[in-house]
Amino acid sequence: MAGEAVGSILGGVLADRFGRRRVLLWGKLIEFTLYFLVGFSPNISAFIALMAVTGAFVYLPYTSAFVLGNEAMGDNHRNVISLCVYGGYCFGAATVPIIGYLISDWRWIMRATGLMGILYIPYYWIILESPYWLLSSGRTEEAELVLCKMAKINGKSLSSECNLIDKFNNPASTANKDQLILKENQVQKNSREYSFLYLLRSPTMRCRLIVAYISWIVTNMVYYGLALNITAFSGDRYVNAAISGLLEFPGIVGGFLVIQWLGRPLSLSLFMGFGGICLAVAPFIKQVNQVAMTAMVILGKTSLIGAFYINFSITGEMAPTLLRNIMVGSASAVGKIGSFTAPYLMFLGETTSEFVPFIVMGSLALISSALSILKLPETKGTTLPARITDAEALKSRI
């Protein structure tokens, strides 16, 4: 978990500085190499060290993939690739229990996982750099080449893609008169000054980031708390784990569909609220039926998975381009607070009352649900903000 937190921060910084594509490709290469090497760990110390480093390189390219997916698509379709990215994660979560059932030796599991990295070799030729990042970095000619390739592949003219370049190179006349934007444009040219700390100077962005952090902490706590405890439920542990992974698909697909209809903050609030209610009432249902309690917990987890997916979308969409990856990465890192506390919370339930962890997770989810609808901006159908001033201009639903 500590490695994942470090990787989230490091990946965000590197992707905003050197580009999404480069971090994604190099991160994946190192990640699968480490998986393979873990299978040859000579002792427990080497295993722990390798797993910590592996955790960093799992999340280092993961957040970049989400951001790149959003930036590569049009305003009305930008979550399609993100859906595919998270869908791959869910497929892996459902497949691992099957592999664990068929292969009992963990060393061979890690070696087989490492060899799967061969599937990523074509990505070197398939994946293009984000045109948003190229334009914000002042690399207009490269952005034009990328947009030309996209237009050619899609069988479309470049006229619509050129509108994106015009938004960066020729902002509206009213925007040119805005001294805040002119000042930020100057700061943006200095990559050292235009940093995450510069973003935190904005009270609006600070408030939104704190609310996003809380949401990430809650979703991580629920996800890992239930994932680590799923084998304690009634039934075969491999079957429970596989079903738990499969049920992540309805969560992310539901999240994807609902945000197209209701927008981001309201959808996040609904998924968090429904999941929180399911978790809060689950231990009471156990008094009636154990299977019903298991079903309620999995239903709550499925809803929170939808919230997890929406977290990635809204956190990236409300951030300025050159700080987008670090915002998503920092939120992912802070969210690991929930991951760290999850096993201790479940253990607290074993030593005191099984009601405790579910009521705590459910209550926190309901609090986060209320904050999300009150403070987070609506980003549905909006152009991804290029600057902090653009991000501040995004309006909340309430």
CATH number of the domain that residue 240 is part of? 1.20.1250.20
CA distance 332 to 4: 9
Which 3 state secondary structure label does DSSP give 10?
Answer: helix
Comparing 359 with 89, the larger pLDDT belongs to 359
* Consecutive H or E run containing 177: none
Q: Does 155 reside within a domain? A: no
Q: Does 36 reside within a domain? A: yes
pTM for this model (two decimals): 0.82
User: By CB neighbour count within 10 A (0-12 exposed, 13-18 middle, 19+ buried), where does 261 fall?
Assistant: exposed
Average pLDDT estimate for 210-230: 84
* Predicted pLDDT at 364: 92
Q: What is the per-residue pLDDT across 308-352, written as a single tens digit (0 to 9) for each?
A: 889 988 998 999 988 899 999 999 999 999 988 988 888 888 888
Average pLDDT estimate for 36-40: 92
Orientation of helix 80-102 relative to helix 248-262, angle to 10°:
170
* Predicted pLDDT at 177: 40
Q: Residue 266 carries which side chain, given as an amino acid letter?
A: L
Q: Does 178 reside within a domain? A: no
Question: What average pLDDT does the chain have?
Answer: 83
Domain of residue 95 covers 2-127+196-392
Number of domains in the chain: 1
Q: Does 48 reside within a domain? A: yes
Q: Does 335 reside within a domain? A: yes
Residue 377 φ then ψ, to 5°:
-80, 155
* Predicted pLDDT at 334: 93
CA distance 343 to 225: 6
DSSP 8-state class, residue 119: G
Average pLDDT estimate for 259-280: 90
Q: Does 176 reside within a domain? A: no
CA distance 191 to 16: 10
Which of 38-42, 45-49, 233-237, 393-397 comes out lowest in average pLDDT?
A: 233-237
Closest CA to 13 of 319, 313, 332, 325: 325
* Predicted pLDDT at 185: 52
Q: Does 184 reside within a domain? A: no
Tally of CB atoms within 10 A around 12: 28
How would residue 387 be classed by pLDDT, with cut points 50, 70 and 90?
A: confident
CA distance 264 to 377: 8
* Predicted pLDDT at 229: 62
Sign of CA dihedral 298, 299, 302, 307: negative
Q: What is the per-residue pLDDT across 115-156, written as a single tens digit (0 to 9) for each?
A: 989 988 999 998 889 888 888 888 888 888 888 888 888 777
Query: Is the predicted pLDDT of residue 362 greater than 80, yes or no?
Result: yes
Q: Does 227 reside within a domain? A: yes
Closest CA to 313 of 390, 210, 382: 382
